[in-house]
Amino acid sequence: MQLAQAFMGEGKQSPQPPLILAVEDNEDNLLLMSYVLDSLGCKLIGQKDSSETLLVAKEYQPDLILLDILLPGESGMDLVRQLKCEPLTSNITAIAVTALASFEDRERILAAGFDDYISKPYMIDELEGMIRGYLWHKMGSCRVFDLCQE
Ligand code: MN
């Protein structure tokens, strides 16, 4: 009986909004990203440099990480290697958001450990589509309804 109640209690918990960690040194880009993520019902941790990204990723366990490549200090490439080597963060989807868009760049980006990339400048729809693609299972059913309306 107690066990059954515990299960029912768990079932009633409202789903947590997806948490996204974004590292982007350009303030305008970070602001744009925050609008897009907010409109999708995601929570955002934004960072302008990579000095604390690994720590924050370990601590907060975001559902997805968006990483600029060219950053002051450690680059997105260095960072993704560290994230993918660390057991606590290796399973988190990491997406490069970068102006480095040549075929060679893309190969290097994926070889470094990124799961995917989106090239700057991007259309808002592209960023939305990518986030929905990776986090559809974390987004509420109302989001699916929104998709049907589009
Ligand atoms: Mn940058």
Domain positions in the chain are: 17-149
Q: Are 78 and 58 in contact (CB under 8 A)?
A: no
pLDDT tens for 45-79 read 999 999 999 999 999 999 999 999 999 999 999 99
| pLDDT-above-90 percentage for the chain | 76
Q: What is the DSSP letter of 43?
A: E
Q: Are 71 and 77 in contact (CB under 8 A)?
A: no
| Distance of CA 132 from the midpoint of ligand 1 (Å) | 24
pLDDT tens for 122-133 read 999 999 999 999
The encoded tokens of residue 44 equal 């955002």
| Distance of CA 88 from the midpoint of ligand 1 (Å) | 26
Question: What pTM was computed for the model?
Answer: 0.83
**Fold classification of 17-149 (topology level):** Rossmann fold (3.40.50)
| Distance of CA 126 from the midpoint of ligand 1 (Å) | 19
Banded pLDDT at 13 (limits 50, 70, 90) = low
**pLDDT, averaged across the chain:** 87
Distance CA 83, CA 80 (A): 5
